[in-house]
A and B are shown apart, each in its own frame.
Chain A
Amino acid sequence: MRFKDILGNEKLWATVYDGETEDVLTKTFSQWLDLNSLYDFFERNIADLTAYFHITDISQAVFETVSDAISMKAMLLEISPDAHLDRLFRPLENSRANEMILAREKAKGARQFGHASWLRIYALKSEPDTYLITGGAIKLTRTMGEREHTRKELLRMDQVRAFLLEQGAVDLEGFKDYLS
């Protein structure tokens, strides 16, 4: 497992999984900006699209996804070196009370088209304002555990977290505790 410094400022990283040549952020955007992939996805998940978003036209869902994805990409590019990524990412579990080491986080697309975005980028919080992206998904259901493709993202977050912990990684607070 390797990691790519996405913005060149050591604040935002993306995982390159074993056997892969591309980082996971590049792969995620490629899928979100490929109509063949999107039509295939929404045809398989039309029931969720209808049930949760009341959308029955797959072409509309594809159009919204592409628009949302390109906006999200532009937003990542516009992040200035001094900007706070903490404003972009939120805890994965809405009810999480205490900060944990290498916490699971998510970034969502902007609200457009009259409903919340279904695009998600998943990451681990390495340090304040420093994140490691582990994947991304189109989330149509209320919880991630309900569908295979989002369940896979949960597993990937745990897999990367376990790798970092195996390497002896702790977050900044843990490192301060260790030194004191």
Chain B
Amino acid sequence: MKRSIDVLKEHSTGEPGAWKRQAQEELEAWDWKQYSYMIAIKARRQMGRLQMTQKQLAEAMGCTQQYVSLLLSGNLNMTLETIARLEKALQFTLLGELMDLEPQYPRLHPTSQYLSEGPAPGYGGDEPR
């Protein structure tokens, strides 16, 4: 007969407190993750309105479906380029509203063929390879 705490120690994985350290790091990442969650939730709402699947969103953004899944999980630290492509693909505004805060600056519109015809070369800076 043993105390239950002794059985736990006998079958311990080691690394005491490792969970605490990892959780601390994750909480520190909350500063940016909270935005990632909100963007993902807003994107999913808009996908619902447009009746758009993840596959269709991936095609519209010019990236893989796995990348879209990661984006919609709320755990992706997105670049501004990714957010802009998401806005364009889903025809809604996330950061686009920032432009309206400084009305003295006119919106810049791409005019080159390169910008209007799809992903730039090397696009996917935050996409896992």
Residues of A that sit less than 8 Å from B by CB: 1-10, 13-14, 16, 23, 25-26, 29, 33-37, 39, 59, 62-63, 66, 70, 73-74, 76-77, 102, 126-127, 130, 132, 164, 167-172, 174-175, 178
Contacts of B9 in A (CB 8 A): 10
Query: In the complex the two chains form, is A167's CB within 8 Å of B2's CB?
Result: yes
Contacts of B8 in A (CB 8 A): 3, 5, 10, 13, 126, 132
Given A23, A25, A169, which contacts B4 in the complex, CB threshold below 8 Å?
Answer: A169
- B30 contacts the other chain (CB 8 A): yes
A36 closest partner in B (C-beta): B73
Q: Nearest Cβ in chain B — how far from A58, in angstroms?
A: 9
Q: Nearest Cβ in chain B — how far from A93, in angstroms?
A: 20
Contacts of B75 in A (CB 8 A): 33-34
- B16 contacts the other chain (CB 8 A): yes
User: DSSP class of A's interface residues: helix, strand, loop or mixed?
Assistant: mixed
Contacts of B73 in A (CB 8 A): 34-37
Q: Nearest Cβ in chain A — how far from B90, in angstroms?
A: 15
Q: Nearest Cβ in chain A — how far from B20, in angstroms?
A: 5
Query: In the complex the two chains form, is A172's CB within 8 Å of B3's CB?
Result: yes
- B85 contacts the other chain (CB 8 A): no
Give residues of chain B (64-111) contacting chain A, Cβ–Cβ below 8 Å: 69, 72-75
- B125 contacts the other chain (CB 8 A): no
Q: Cα distance A16–B15 when bound, in Å?
A: 13
Contacts of B10 in A (CB 8 A): 167
Indicate whether A171 sits within 8 Å of B15 (C-beta atoms), given known contacts A35-B74, A70-B27, A77-B24.
no
Query: In the complex the two chains form, is B19's CB within 8 Å of A168's CB?
Result: no
Q: Cα distance A35–B72 when bound, in Å?
A: 7
Query: In the complex the two chains form, is B13's CB within 8 Å of A102's CB?
Result: no
Known: A7-B20, A23-B13. 12 other contacts (CB 8 A): A3-B11, A5-B15, A10-B9, A23-B19, A26-B19, A34-B74, A70-B27, A130-B4, A168-B2, A169-B2, A169-B4, A170-B1
- B115 contacts the other chain (CB 8 A): no
Indicate whether A102 sits within 8 Å of B4 (C-beta atoms), given known contacts A23-B13, A66-B74.
yes
B37-45, B55-63, B116-124 - interface stretch? B37-45
Contacts of A39 in B (CB 8 A): 44
B38 closest partner in A (C-beta): A63
Q: Cα distance A10–B14 when bound, in Å?
A: 11
10 pairs of A and B residues whose beta carbons are closest in the complex: A8-B17, A5-B16, A169-B4, A169-B7, A8-B16, A35-B74, A126-B4, A6-B19, A167-B7, A4-B13
Q: Cα distance A8–B9 when bound, in Å?
A: 12
Contacts of B3 in A (CB 8 A): 127, 169-172, 175
